[in-house]
Amino acid sequence: MADDTENSAAEPSAEDDWAAAMAEQAISEQAPEAKAAQIFPAFDETDGKASMMNELDMILDIPVQMAVELGRTKITIKNLLQLAHGSVVELDAMAGEPMGVFVNGTLIAQGEVVVVNDKFGIRLTDIITPSERMRKVGR
């Protein structure tokens, strides 16, 4: 008899959980669009307060990889394996030629090397416009 009492006591709580889940589903089925709109506002909606800068704030803290390229060269694997401490590798860039500034692998500017507080830096001399970047992609 003790087992019947325990089972009957456990069943109502399971039924209550089931009833609560069904009630929650019924509520969500009544107005799914309204609930979704509250959680995820549409990007094309403007409420007067949102400006372009506020929308850009979401991406301003995303890190990007920036690299400055001195020059490039192609060598054979044989010559690569022969490199040792003190070896000199000739690059295709000429002395005094502007260096490429890359962000996530895309050329965005050119510049010249400067030294600031005993560290190398680059002074930007030419910014690549988006239209120029698109022309280079098309090649």
**pLDDT > 70? residue 79:** yes
Q: Tell whether 33 and 80 lie within a shared domain.
A: no
Q: Tell whether 48 and 90 lie within a shared domain.
A: no
Q: Tell whether 126 and 89 lie within a shared domain.
A: yes
Q: What is the 3-state secondary structure (H, E, C) of the chain?
A: CHHHHHHHHHHHHHHHHHHHHHHHHHHHHHCHHHHHHHHCCCCCCCCCCCCHHHHHCCCCCCCCCEEEECCCCCCCHHHHHCCCCCCCCCCCCCCCCCEEEEECCEEEEEEEEEEECCEEEEEEEEECCHHHHHHHHHC
CATH of the domain at 88: 2.30.330.10
Q: Tell whether 86 and 109 lie within a shared domain.
A: yes
Q: What is the pLDDT of residues 46-56, one digit of tens each?
A: 554 556 667 77
Q: Tell whether 55 and 67 lie within a shared domain.
A: no
Q: Tell whether 86 and 43 lie within a shared domain.
A: no
Domain region containing 1: 1-60
Q: Tell whether 74 and 127 lie within a shared domain.
A: yes
Q: Tell whether 74 and 130 lie within a shared domain.
A: yes
Structural domains of the chain, count: 2
Q: What is the pLDDT of residues 81-106, one digit of tens each?
A: 999 999 999 988 888 889 999 998 88
* pLDDT score of 34: 52
Q: What is the mean pLDDT of the chain?
A: 77
